[in-house]
Structure 1
Amino acid sequence: MPTTTTSILRRLLLLPVQFLAITTLLTTPPPPGADALDAGYYAATCPDAASLVRGAMERLHHNDPTLAPALIRLLFHDCFVRGCDASVLVSPAPGRASERAAVPNHTLRGFNAVDAVKRALEAACPGAVSCADALALMARDAVALLGGDDYAVALGRRDGTQSNPWEVDLPAPFSRLDDALAYFAARGFDAEETVVLFGAHTVGGAHCGSFRYRLTDPNGTMDDALRCDLLETCGAADQTLDTDPANFFDPDTPFAVDNSYYAQLVSNRTLLQVDQEAAAHPATAAHVAYYAATPGAFVRRFSEVMAKLSNVGVLEGDAGQVRKVCSRYNT
């Protein structure tokens, strides 16, 4: 378990930052399927599935508190590419690429944890619970373990049989807010829900490379005292990922799902330009101000929107498969 701020941040890496490189936007709504999910889907085939996942998550969180934010990020990266089908979990193999090879996914963490939970599920209920459902449950438990509201997860997702790095088109941290809003809207999230999902930055952190340009070429949108402090920490020169320092999004409560992130926004003390724009943009400013002033509302709403996220573009019925091992397709 990490013992210093620097080592903790290195484990956190970018966390949810890259759920926000705009390339091609979706032009159609998310595929149907979420309505077919059912909280009791495993009542006959694996009735203890949710409790098995929760118990495993509690043990994992106790051993490594940086894992919960990483799993929230992992769900974002899965669901916003091909939908919530566990395609991001597939490992590259000779002659076969996967989403993990895409640059935005190079710093994802939590794969070993998902594999461990899946092994426990397979031991109890062979071939029953999909990796997509396991990840959705783990992300839900991560939110709760970080102090967020628990929420129901409808089940019955199937695992995808494609994982292509060229399809990973996640918005970059330097994206303009209008582009990010269009990206989220194409996946069924309005401006208010997008502001709530930005609130995933209530936990985790970002490497200096994601915002160093704001330190060396300031545009007046970052509190100058914070900018000077960060410049001292980050330095002005670009660095490789393994040596680039990292900083918490919310240094006050970096491991708690709370509304402190929004207070950072209204005080111009956030790391990412796309986040900061949300505090002043006409489509989002009122939502930022509301959640900054209303702690309980954000905590409740974050769980509601996370539940919606976990239903994006799901496969169900006879589509896809139920992988025996999350990192590879069934053979």
Structure 2
Amino acid sequence: MIHHTRRRLVTTALAFVGALSLTAGSITGVLAAEKPKTVRITYVASPFNVPSIVMRAKGYLDEAFAPYGIKVESPEITSGAQQVQAIAAGEIDIASVLGGSSAILGKTNGADVQVIAAYSRNPEAYAILATKGGPQKVTDLKGKTVAGPKGTALHQLLAAALIKNGMTLADINYINMDLGAARAALLAGKVDAATLAGNNALAVEQAGGHVIANGKGLFDPTTVIGVNGAFLKNHPDLVEAYLAAHRKALAFMAEEPEEALKLAAAEQKISLEDARRMNAWYDFTLKMSDADVANLAADQDFMVEAGMMKKKIDIKADLVAPIAFTQK
């Protein structure tokens, strides 16, 4: 009797284990089935985002996601604010080039955005410019009209330059315009100066304009790579696939620098000489450092002081994912 009872218990236990195995297998199957059919990664070429240009030109993203049977969609959303809105709405998975201030503002306003790596550091790429005969020094801007995108690194540059020269934004008329519109307004003589970056700044110089001040010594902007927090949590392997493609682009830039610059020059419709000049302004290291976190904290302080946001977040704990500090 005892023997039969033990046998039934063993049989029942084995059946239970088998059921668990089937359930685990079913869960695994469901999770595998939940892989997205497409991954949506923004494409932002300007002001001079060479890694992104190389990734597209060489097909590295398509290669990275092909083993998963996933198609890559690359919407061209250049505005940081719009990229964050798209993340919040679930319309994009990865914001490939995101201004630090946009990431912070989005997080503060409830967007589920996480920073997974740095994209670039490029203070010299940001500048305040005027046309021939226009203001020569920052102090000359008093009472003048300056165009540029508010709530961005360029806004921060302008504020920092004014403060260094004993002025504030209240001493000028600052008009909110995107880069292309600000450049056009400046060249048409509708504004006295403009805050511009990359090829927009070069276009003004080539038209006879000049730089009043650039970001060197004034601030240290860090652009980042942002992802939808739920996407990072549910698909860390796909996030790694993206980062692997990005690293492949950086390797190509190191091994074939001239070819990379040719690709960038063609995409930006600038000369190879101008591409070389701009490339010298950028540090494309992926790994986030304590200095990058400090730069983002400075961005946040600026936005609070400027009245653009009321409450602060803990940059390292709330915004930057641990993976950002382990990149190569």
Please, what TM-score do these two structures have when normalized by structure 1? 0.27
Q: Which has the higher contact order (CA 8 A, sep 6+)?
A: 1
Structure with the bigger percentage of strand: 2
Structure exhibiting the larger radius of gyration computed from Cα positions: 2
Please, what TM-score do these two structures have when normalized by structure 2? 0.27
Structure with the bigger percentage of helix: 2
